[in-house]
Amino acid sequence: MKKNLVLGIPSGSLFDSTVALLRKVGIEVVVNGRNFMAEIRGSDIFSRAIIMRPNDLPLALKNGIVDGIITGLDMCLESGLEKELCIIIELNFSKKSKVPARVVIFCRENDSDEIVDSEEILVSAEYINLAKTIFKKAQVFFSTGSTEIKVAIEEFGFRYGVGVVESGKSLKDNNLKIVKVILTTPVIFAVRKENLEFQIFGQMLKGALEAEMYQLVKFNADSKDKDRLIEILPAMESPTISNLADGMIAIETVITKETITDSIIAIRKNGGRNILVQNINISV
């Protein structure tokens, strides 16, 4: 029976990667034009999605507008609502990569690495509350964007910027440098009240991300070659071995993508045949 639960998903830079992740676990988010309400297909847990700014999602969850959210941990901490939400799982991805983003303090390349906190210092911050945990005396101004430019151009008057980065390349390209990492901020799946279905759903999301690093390898071999084949397999766990009707054996194992080429060569050299390699959608 389909539940009438609502999932809050982030608009902006995280939207595409979030929808792609949901698709990997069999959930389709059907968006109608610019409507912020979307239909969810492929799951009986959530029936609808609301698309909104990531920083609004924690409050929407607290107030019961949505029943679960996918957003950055930074948004929960900035809102001060992290203790009122139940974080089911942390997900290591960001808008462009599979590593969590960082909230950082940055300054011009030629400035000191030591943070100066005094009344005459101006800070342009995308995270006012997080910035104020570091800057107790400086003047902190909210930045709606272009934070790097405001720091890079001295005439703006800002000594420091507080913002989110993935690789930090954009800072380097603008002659800026990181002087402090305030926090590493994974994407999270959070709910108001924990239950088993939400726990499993969270594990599926994390499993879909982890599965991208592995492939399933299947092959046949003579039974006499079993021991040496098992010895060379860099498996997550012990391989699955089945006896075939013709006296052969079938072996299945999971191998990291970065070792797949060498592994197939080794399998073939040690008697493996009819080798099949498949991508994995979810590992739970």
The pLDDT profile of the chain, 284 residues, written as one tens digit per residue, is 457 899 999 998 889 999 999 999 999 999 887 788 899 998 888 999 999 999 999 999 999 999 999 999 999 999 999 888 999 999 987 666 677 889 999 999 999 999 999 999 999 999 999 999 999 999 999 998 889 999 999 999 999 999 999 888 889 999 999 999 999 999 999 998 889 999 999 999 999 988 888 999 999 999 999 999 988 887 567 889 999 988 899 999 999 999 999 999 999 999 999 999 999 887 77
Find the angle CA(21)-CA(25)-CA(26) to the nearest 5 degrees. Answer: 110
Nearest-10 crossing angle of helices 15-24, 196-211: 100
Instruction: Verify that 85 and 18 share a domain, yes or no.
Output: yes
| Full residue range of the structural domain in which residue 116 is found | 101-185
Can you say whether the dihedral through the CA atoms of 221, 226, 232, 238 is positive or negative?
positive
Nearest to 101 by CA among 75, 123, 124, 122: 75
Q: Are residues 93 and 107 both part of a single domain?
A: no
Closest by Cα among 183, 180, 177, 182 to 107: 177
Q: How many CB atoms lie within 10 A of CB 100?
A: 20
> What CATH number has the domain bearing residue 246?
3.30.70.120
Helical ranges in the chain per DSSP H: 15-24, 57-62, 73-79, 128-132, 147-152, 169-173, 196-211, 226-232, 260-269
Evaluate whether 187 touches 72 at the Cβ level (below 8 Å): yes
**3-state class percentages of the chain: helix first, strand second, coil last, to nearest 5:** 30, 35, 35
- pTM score of the predicted model: 0.80
Whether residue 177 is found in the same domain as residue 191: no
Q: Which two tokens stand for residue 10?
A: 């982030």
Q: Read off the tokens for 37.
A: 């309400």
For residue 146, being part of any structural domain is answered with yes
Unique residue bearing structure tokens 């539940």: 3
Total domain count, the chain: 3
CA-to-CA distance for 263 and 267, rounded, in angstroms? 6
Q: Are residues 191 and 54 in the same domain?
A: yes
Whole-number pLDDT of residue 1: 44
Q: Which amino acid is at 276?
A: L
Q: Are residues 18 and 48 in the same domain?
A: yes
Cβ contacts of 273 within 8 Å, gap of 6 or more: 219, 220, 221
Q: Are 201 and 188 contacting, i.e. CB atoms less than 8 angstroms apart?
A: no
* Domain-located, residue 231: yes
- Residue 56: inside a domain, yes or no? yes
Q: Answer whether 185's CB lies under 8 Å from 92's CB.
A: no
d(CA 202, CA 200): 5
